[in-house]
Amino acid sequence: MPIKANKNANTIRILTNNTEYQIKVDKFGILKHVWYGRPVWDDMDHLLDYPGIGFAGNIHESGDRREYSPDTLPQEYGCSGGADYRVPSISVVFEDGSRTVDLRYIGYTIEKGKYSIPGLPAVYASDDDAETLEIYLQDIASELVVRLRYGVLPQYDVITRSAVISNKGSEPIRLENAMSFCLDIPFGEWDRMTFVGRHAMERVPDRQPVDPGIHESSSARGASSHQQNPSVILCSKDCTETSGECYGAALVYSGSFKTQVERDQLGGTRLTMGINPDLFSWELGAGEDFYTPEAIITYSGEGFDRLSQNFHGVIRNNVCRGKYKLAPRPILINNWEATYFNFDEEKLAAIAKQASKLGVDLFVMDDGWFGKRSSDTSGLGDWTVNESKLKGGLKPLVDRVKSFGMKFGIWFEPEMISEDSDLFRAHPDWAIAVPGRAPVLSRSQLLLDLTRADVREYLYGAISDILNSADISYVKWDFNRSICDWYSHGIPKERMGEMPHRYMLGLYELLERLTHDFPDVLFEGCSGGGGRFDAGMLYYTPQIWCSDDTDAYERTKIQYGTSFIYPVSAVGSHVSAVPNHQTGRVTPLEARAVTAMAGSFGYELDLGKLSDAEKAAVKEQTARFRRYDDLIHNGSYHRLSDPTADKFAAWEYVSFDRTEALVHGMVFRTEPSAMRYRIRLRGLDPEKLYRFDTDGKIYSGTALMNGGILLPRTWGDYAPFELHFTEF
């Protein structure tokens, strides 16, 4: 059993295949965090010996023991208003206006299987693959009860964290902060890695020292955002891909979030993560419960590579769901960069017919097919076919595409509404806007109020009607602006602080209903590319459009950062036209292909404009991707270079039986009279022999992983390479 409780020592140990997590209840009932790291098989409470510190408050029961203070103790869930002045996990306003919370231990339960969370996405697992620990805490002066939940998946070295906050009293209270977890690390010098950027340049790793004070990564945009990702890594100063200690956390939530890392006065480090409290309050009535979103946490003593394998495994197998979770994804062609809004049935059919000859499986019709939609200034919300573009509606086009042997997909932006739309003219109160204020526009659009049941019902009906009207196999679910002007006509004014979280609950409800009722449809998430790339969306959409930047060189950096947390199978990635529409850069077709193969592969260009040689290359690429599909999507993924710092990008896929390996990458600039670059492979069996396809030479796994292999000589800039090895 992974969860072991020693009642005599008041200690609970959580064991995974390679880690141990220790919790201890002290004699005052405070729940202390004792250890998280490699298995130690011993009580590590002896490490927690703190001096008396001036201005560190002491709980009343400790008497003259001035060395005992919640302000210095490592804890499992920090409280606000009392003697702990560090960043809190919970903040409450009680019915008398007081704000002090002092949680003490009252019990625990251990059950087989993995807990679920009502209305929220969460890791799932069978009774044989997981256990759940719940620890019960109660405030000493009220009937506030908190259940800390730990889901343990030993094979991935993963522990999930969530909290249930319950009002057992007779009067309402108000939550102002409800973090998903708290992790206190008493010792060590740490760096903090977050994943930052902007639209079309998302999730670039940013590694900074954890200096004294509070360091924050957050979004207040109503979405997890392009600018910050709801994930973080704490790593030792010497941590590399293959050595050193690191802790990772990823929030299973798609709305506004906050991650805080605080280095305190004694050198300890506290990490908290959860809903952004700057945009949150919640009235908790008598007898009511509040469920925080879940966070996935993991530890590696073997560097970033092992940490990423842990995240990849649990997200791919225990977050993503449905028919396409592990199945091969269709190779698609999207018309957006080929036509933008300027298309009709004939133009789309011509693209699809050409694509079918080159091995593409799925044609996706992007924005512009509905309402009065000839630009991005009108039509959103009017989800009916624009028959001036598509004569006779959707079905004739779908049937025509299917006659080419292809499947059909379609773009939606369901959460948005244009002021110039029939829906807005009929229901202006459905748009998020503050009465008496001109609303903030972004991309000339507003948002629909998904906190309202009537809005969700309208969207479900409109989307269902389209999906039932023809044989549609794929939906691209887009979200092209941040949220502000938080106001709902359906929420009492004194509870308007609940709106941002209620919006997410409404979105998840709608997605759950649609994905359940249309199980054969592949849903892909999108938010101007990667503005909502998080584990919460992956629960409903097993792949997400990684970035609107399709420049192959830039994509090596974007996909590099993404890979620290998210598996390749989650990444939507396409070959686009050159000069690239975002940067003007010209890269070889093969460089664009190997970069796009690091994800759910496809094309976003007008194939009719390619030369015969380029068409032949595309046909070969689609065949090659099918050959490697299972290896790429379901094998282990390894970063072999840092494209933000190195002169080349290289990454590797290894089958789980370690009989096959594939290396892809790009040399950014070819230099004359230069030594060839060396890479060292990872994840192979050191005792196996491997045949290199290029020249037929045989190498041992030990030689390839320790000595390495040279990259081929290149010609020109952005030169691609592919190295394939099979067991000999």
Give catalytic residues, as residue numbers: 534, 614
Pinpoint the alpha helices (H) of 387-439: 394-403, 422-426
DSSP state of 4: E
Put residue 699 in one of left, alpha, beta given phi > 0 → left and psi -120 to 50 → alpha: beta
Burial 432-466 (b: 16+ CB within 10 A, else e): bbeeeeeeeeeeebbbbbbbbeebbebbbebbeeb
Return the SS3 of 673: coil
Three-state SS letters, 527-576: ECCECCCCHHHHCCCCEEECCCCCCHHHHHHHHHHHCCCCCHHHEEEEEE
- The DSSP string of 267-312 is S-EEEEEEE-GGG--EEE-TT-EEEPPEEEEEEESBHHHHHHHHHH
Q: Report yes or no: 123 and 294 within 8 Å, Cβ to Cβ.
A: yes
Rounded Cα gap, residues 435 and 424, in angstroms:
15
**Nearest one of 225, 142, 108, 245 to 185, comparing CA atoms:** 245
CA distance 570 to 314: 12
Are the beta carbons of 232 and 285 closer than 8 angstroms?
Answer: no
Closest listed residue to residue 547, CA positions, set 534, 565, 528, 566: 528
Q: What element of type H or E holds 615?
A: helix 612-634
Torsion angle of C-alpha atoms 424, 426, 428, 430, degrees rounded to 10? -90
The whole-angstrom separation of Cα 290 and Cα 287 is 10
The percent of the chain in helix, strand and coil, each rounded to the nearest 5, is 25, 30, 45
Cβ proximity of 395 and 388 under 8 Å: no
First to last CA, the chain: 39
Structure tokens at 154: 């030993």
With CA atoms as reference, report the closest residue to 367 among 272, 457, 478, 473: 478
Q: Give the helix ranges, DSSP H, for 383-486.
A: 394-403, 422-426, 453-469
User: If you search the block for the tokens 């512009």, which residue do you land on?
Assistant: 368
DSSP, collapsed to helix, strand or coil, labels residue 149 as: strand
Bridge partners (DSSP) listed for residue 151:
132, 160
Q: Are strands 362-365 and 332-334 parallel, antiparallel or unpaired?
A: parallel
Residue 457's alpha-carbon distances to 121, 468, 489, 514, in angstroms, are 20, 16, 16, 11
> Hey, what are 352's tokens?
């699809």
Q: Give the integer Cα–Cα distance in Å for 682 and 704.
A: 8
Closest CA to 49 of 26, 67, 35, 76: 67
